[in-house]
Structure 1
């Protein structure tokens, strides 16, 4: 089981340097993929900004991920993540959307598929390192 962050999925659709490594993690058979509803919203916004909505739609359609609803208790975990690791508070500088990915990884005690340095400065496990 792995939680997904916007950064990894955008890296795949934009064919960034980490695209192949991220795609390989997603292709591991029988792996449960978790995507917060908040992360899905962020993903759609970022794809619109980066002009890759069609590519993202194809990727999302090809993945069999589970959407994790945003509940009051999950919002509390995400808010606590910002309070601990948020921009201007901690070197991780998590943004609003990052907090949903973080909360999903923590709740389900699973690695997070992400790229960049932000989550590496938190206490979540990297799905790339675990692969």
Structure 2
């Protein structure tokens, strides 16, 4: 399962649905993966939401993910899949998913690794990964 920044952020800042999201993460039947881009996005969001230093937010993100979630590299194939995701589902295309850059890479990583995507929000539900 690819763990998107939206899911990690919800867990780390203890949003209302954090327990449900974390339960889905822990119940995954596929290996848990994420990307450096998702970790970066998570640290930015955690820093802003909790009003803490970015370095501390990055440390908290790493402390949560490192024991259970493997960080996979962004390969050329993933780059191509992200471009495809942007063309099909990106903001400005008229598609209801309205994926942003980070979303496109999360989508691409999940596609490349043939795993489900753990996310929060109503963007990915409009893609073929829903």
TM-score by length of structure 2 reads: 0.83
**Which string of whole-angstrom CA distances, capped at 9 and with x for unpartnered residues, describes residues 74-120 of structure 1?**
11111111111111212111111111110111112221101110000
- 2:103 corresponds to which residue? 98
- 2:32 corresponds to which residue? 33
Question: Residues 29 and 8 (structure 1 numbering): CA distance in 2 closer, same or farther, change over 3 Å?
Answer: closer
Separation in 2 of the partners of 1:86 and 1:65? 27
- 1:129 corresponds to which residue? none
**Which string of whole-angstrom CA distances, capped at 9 and with x for unpartnered residues, describes residues 54-74 of structure 1?**
64344224x421111012221
- 1:70 matches 2:74: yes
- For structure 2, the residue ranges without an aligned partner over 5 or more in a row are none
Q: Is the 8 A contact 1:11 1:19 kept in 2?
A: yes
- For structure 1, the residue ranges without an aligned partner over 5 or more in a row are 126-131
- 1:112 corresponds to which residue? 117
Separation in 2 of the partners of 1:71 and 1:80? 14
Q: Is the 8 A contact 1:18 1:115 kept in 2?
A: no
- 2:7 corresponds to which residue? 8
Determine helix, strand or coil for the equivalent of 2:34. Answer: strand
Separation in 2 of the partners of 1:30 and 1:97? 24
Aligned length: 123
